Amino acid sequence: MAVTALVPADDGTARALRERGVSVIRGDLAAPGPWQQAAADAGVIVHAGLPQLEPPVRGRQITHLAREAAEGARNLRGAIDAGADVVTASLWIGDADGPLQISSPALAAEDALAGDRTRAVRMPWPYGPAGFLRDVARGLLMRRVRIVGSGGNHIALVGARDAAAALASAADAPPGRYAVSEHDPPTQVGLVHHLCAGIGAPRPDHLPPRLASFTMGGVIVEALVADQRVPGPPPPGFAATQEWRRDLQDALRS
């Protein structure tokens, strides 16, 4: 199967993809480009192009990012052949009452890509060689990260390999919404202490949410202190192979 990836810059990600036999197109969903023809020719489209969250993230910024995500997704929807299958990956962070503000860009893109051949896979923080948890580990080494609030809330996780496998399973699944998350998530304290033990960093102290919001922004603080849940069934045929206690440290180092 031929695979083509759209990347915003010819950086390390593009080089790594080419080494794996993936054709790379430079561009952005916000602007017309060669990606439109590639999308029109594709039998399966996997959308994972959500805006990056750079702290501090506040309400006004997340509203702007949601509009940006929806615009890019609408542009992609307009380029896709009617017979193509669509799989969209959503960073879905929620609690018992539903999604939190941090999920707004993902949900906006999901709505823009909705259709009778669309599968949405909702997942929490992925752990792998890049991303939010890698940044947390680096921040702990530099003593720039603290536990927000009491730290007793649960942080939903999924391994990057499992996230990719879930998207592949969703491509063969009936259209609908699916969710992937490890069944036994750590508490915020447990996650931070596990990271510290693995990287040799001292355990940090606690910071009240109100103070943390000055550097992180209220949107991220709201997510960090929530008892996170990602409800929904996994894609049929998907079987998780990763578990944070065993795999988190190796995933961050890979």
Give the DSSP per-residue string, 88-156: EEEE--EETTEE-GGGHHHHHHHHHT-STTEEEEEE-EEESSSSHHHHHHHHHHTT---EETT--SB--
Nearest-CA neighbor of 68 among 99, 32, 106, 38? 106
pLDDT at 105: 96
pLDDT score recorded for residue 49: 85
Q: Is the pLDDT of residue 50 over 80?
A: yes
Check pLDDT > 80 for residue 184: yes
Q: Are 49 and 6 in contact (CB under 8 A)?
A: yes
pLDDT at 157 over 90: yes
Task: Please report, as a single letter, which amino acid is at residue 244.
Answer: W
pLDDT-derived band of residue 82, with 50, 70 and 90 as boundaries? confident
Domains, the chain, in order of start with CATH, read 42-253 (3.40.50.720)
Residue 129 CA to residue 109 CA, distance in Å, equals: 25
Q: In this predicted model, what pLDDT tens digit does every residue of 200-245 receive, in sequence order?
A: 999 999 999 999 999 999 999 999 999 999 999 999 999 999 999 9
- 88-125 residue pLDDT tens: 999 999 999 999 999 999 999 999 999 999 999 999 99
Residues with Cβ within 8 Å of residue 231, at least 6 apart in sequence: 94, 179
Going by pLDDT thresholds of 50, 70 and 90, the confidence category of residue 8 is confident
Is the pLDDT at 58 greater than 80? The verdict is yes
Within a 13 Å sphere around the CA of 26, how many CA atoms are in the beta-carbon half?
A: 7
pTM above 0.95, yes or no: no
Q: What tokens were used for 15?
A: 């080089």
- Please name the amino acid found at residue 140: L
* Rounded percentage of the chain residues whose pLDDT exceeds 70: 99
Nearest-angstrom CA–CA distance, 149 and 225:
7
